Amino acid sequence: MYVAIFVCLSVKAVHIEIVPDLTSAACINAIKRCVARRGRLIELRCDNATAFVGADREMRELRRQVLTNEWEQYCLSEGINFKFVPARSPHFGGLWEAGVKSFKRHFRRIFGSTSYTIDELATAAAHIEGILNSRPLTPLTEHPEDLSVLTPGHLLIGEPMFSIPEPDVSDKPISNLSRFQESRRSVQNFWKCWSRDYISLLHQRSKWKTATKNIEPGTMVLLKQDNYPPFTWPLGRVVQTYAGSDGLVRVVLVRTGRGLFKRAVTEISVLPIESETTNQMTTVVYCQANYQG
C-alpha cells in the first residue's frame, strides 16, 4: 500500500489518501476522492513520477473525449492543470516534500514494525491527517485573553479539527493491549512525537548574524509541554517580559488556560505566521531607515 499526500500551497493544509499501487489509474482515483471531499482543484503540482505523468496524459485524453463545442470552453476552465517540477529536482517541491517528511518520518518510526489491515491503516491515516491539520498558524484575534487560533482545519471544515477523547495508552506495553488499543497507541505516539518536533522546529534559529526582535506582550506562543491529548496544543499569550541588562528578553510571563507561568524564551515558540510577519516588518523598517538616512 502507498500514501498520497496533497498539500495546499496557501495554508499547508494536508489531505491524505491510501493508494493500492503506483499505476496511473490509482493516481486518478486518489485525485477524484480528494476533489469529492475537498472541492475543485485548479492546479496540481508534483514531481515527474511515472504515475503522475501517466495520470496527466489520461485525464487530458478523457477531457478531449468528453468535451463538446458548447461545453469546451467551460470544461477547460474547470479542468485540473498539471505542473511538473524539473526532472531530478525534488527541491523545487519543497512545500509538499516537507509534508511528506512530516508524515513518513514519524509513520515509519511509530507504525513501521506493525502490520495493519486496510481498515486500520485508513483510520490511522485519517487521524494523522487531522493531527497535521490541527497545528496553529496565527491568532484569531488580538484580545490578550483570547487563546483561539486559526488552523488549517478552519479552512477545510470551518472549525478546529476534533478527536474523540480516548484513554491514554501510549505508555502501556503492547503485550497488554488489544488490536484496537494497539492502533490507538500508535496514533497517540505519533501525536506526541510530531507535536514535540513541530514546536521545536518553530524555535530553530540560524546563526545570529542580525538582531531579532524581542517578544512583546500580547504575542501568542506555543509552550514546550508534554502529556497533552491529541489535537490539543499548549497555547498561551505573553503577559509580561523580563529583559536583562543588555535589553534582550530571556524570560516571559505567559497566560494559559490553566493560569500564569514563567517560561524562558527557549521553552516557547511564536506561531509561524505571526513570526514571519514580524520578520518581514523588521526588514521593511530596516530598509526604510537606510533609505531615509
Per run of 10 residues, the mean pLDDT along the chain (length 293 residues) is: 88 90 84 87 81 77 60 54 74 80 79 80 88 90 86 89 83 82 84 83 62 84 84 91 89 91 89 60 33 34
Residues 6+ apart with CB under 8 A from 98: 7
Q: Are 247 and 258 in contact (CB under 8 A)?
A: no
Q: Looking at residue 71, what is its pLDDT?
A: 44
pTM of the model: 0.76
Beta strands 2-7 and 43-46, pairing class = unpaired
Can you list the domains of the chain with their CATH numbers?
2-86 (no CATH), 108-202 (no CATH), 220-292 (2.30.30)
What pLDDT does residue 15 have? 93
Instruction: Give the angle 286-289-291 at the CA atoms, nearest 5°.
Output: 110
Write down how long the chain is: 293
- Residue 180, Cβ neighbours under 10 Å: how many? 10
| pLDDT recorded at residue 288 | 34
Grid cell 499547508 — which residue? Answer: 12
Give the model's pLDDT for residue 252. 93
User: What angle separates helix 24-38 from helix 50-66, to the nearest 10 degrees?
Assistant: 70
| Whole-angstrom distance, CA of residue 106 vs CA of residue 38 | 25
Rounded CA separation 233/225 (Å): 9
